[in-house]
Structure 1
């Protein structure tokens, strides 16, 4: 009974969680010993290269085109993963112009570190993040977790941010590229309309993403509100149920959160 309640809770938290969690921090790092905590939401909307369900595309169930379309859509779900997700983060300033952070985005747990180079009133931040990915949460539907998909993986990303901030940190602006690579594997169930619908099938994928981040933050003393948007190009390749598939998609991911610094 407890296991079933835990599985239900995990499925609810991760339902619709998307693949590109926001940074929501400026280019300037925290002062040594200072810590910040934040919480908010983010979304991911496909604006180019959208996939559709096989039957909606005019293919009949059992058609090879339907199977390939179903596999491509599933690859998009476990890599690009459009949708809405929670965002929660904790960060700490470290001597030498450094900072470390831990972020949860529904389908990923990201640990990162970064260094900021002072450029007069501006700062250039170079970071490296490593993520544990939970791309397909087990589903307790039909009384069995085998009724859902179960995909896990790991990823890295490198954000490079140039930023400016006002006196007393009342306002901050940052922008720059963010590159990432994810590797995933596990089992999925193909959607209705595919020839291989039924039991779980093996799935694997590689996901390359190239994005551009633009963010702003405003607040007073210890409390700030941050808004950020990332435009990203995604290239994913993989094999779903023995079917090799690849896709290219473009997304826009807005996000926002409230941070408290001590």
Structure 2
């Protein structure tokens, strides 16, 4: 049993090409000098706009394999939207003036962010953040693809919490833009193995709605979050234009410790 759990954790930690980057923090920021460390897992689940996997047609009907366009659209989904399971590891620190900074690793990206919270009462806050990410869209399981990039995102959260911080609730929009470039492998026509590396580039716009909840006592909390996201990605693969529109749900959960 222990070996199975260990193997699962290693597989998640190595899922460098998958998406899923939850915030897992409330709208309220940490007190100045307070540090929060957390770890957990997330998943990017495709619910709309899926692209069928390339497959060979029946030769007796005179058909051929799936078109290059289908293969390119599927590859664009893999490197931009990146459905799958990913780890979540984060560290945050409170800064004077109702500010907070954080560094988060989510398998596909390393994100540095800062945010400011506006107090709307004793239990209510509105936070506005800005994150910058280094992207690693190529990795284990990506068949030799090598795609990297950069992105920014802006989360705006409205949240409530109890007096003793036993629980917190937050929700709000999150907008993001990514630029990607590198090389990918497309399936070779009529062959079971991938073809040669081809150039790839693109832009990825995402618009999401975040809903999260956190509960705990004193220095230990468990956070759960879900984000419904619309993705539009467009670019070129092997010199041909390609675009996709997809919808995903990103559930995530983690354990955080503050000190």
SS at match of 1:198: strand
CA RMSD after TM alignment: 2.2
CA gap of 1:194–1:125, structure 2 versus 1, over 3 A, is farther
Change (3 A) 1:161 1:47: same
**C-alpha distance in 2, partners of 1:112/1:200?**
34
Q: 1:75 to 1:39 in 2, by over 3 A?
A: same
What's the counterpart of residue 132 of structure 2? 130
Partner Cα separation in structure 2 for residue 18 and residue 51 of structure 1: 17
Of 214, 225, 230, the residue aligned with 2:227 is 230
Q: Specify the alignment match of 1:4 in structure 2.
A: none
Per-residue Cα deviation, 1:118-148 (whole angstroms, up to 9, x for no partner): 0002000000000000001267x9xxxxx61
1:48 and 1:138 mapped to 2: Cα distance?
25
Give the aligned partner of residue 187 of structure 1: 183
Deviates more, 1:202-211 or 1:237-246: 237-246
Aligned partner of 1:68 in structure 2 is 69
Decide which of 238, 243, 248 is 2:245's aligned counterpart: 248
5+ long unaligned stretches in structure 2: 1-9
- 1:47 is aligned to 47
Mapped contact 1:123–1:164 kept (Cα < 8 A):
yes
Distance 1:49 1:56 in 2: 21
Q: CA deviation at 1:197?
A: 4.9
Instruction: Give the TM-score, by structure 1 length.
Output: 0.88
3-state SS in 2 of match to 1:79: helix
Under a length normalisation based on structure 2, what TM-score does the superposition of the two structures give?
A: 0.89
In structure 2, the CA distance between the partners of 1:12 and 1:173, relative to structure 1 (3 Å rule), is: closer
Residue 164 in structure 1 maps to residue 160 in structure 2:
yes
Total equivalences in the alignment: 244
Counterpart secondary structure, 1:169: coil
* Cα deviation, residue 31, structure 1: 0.1
Q: How far apart are the structure 2 equivalents of 1:185 and 1:153? A: 6
Distance 1:138 1:216, change over 3 A: closer
Alpha-carbon offset, residue 215 of structure 1: 0.1
CA distance in 2 between partners of 1:194 and 1:179 (Å): 40
Taking the aligned partners of 1:42 and 1:12, their CA distance within structure 2 comes to 10
Q: Distance in 1 between matches of 2:196 and 2:166?
A: 55
Q: CA deviation at 1:191?
A: 3.2
1:80 aligns with 2:63: no
Unpaired runs of 5+ residues, structure 1, are 1-9, 142-146
| Kept after mapping to 1: 8 A contact 2:20/2:86 | no
Give, in angstroms, the shift of residue 60 of structure 1.
Answer: 2.2
The equivalent position to 1:210 in structure 2, one of 207, 212, 216, is 207
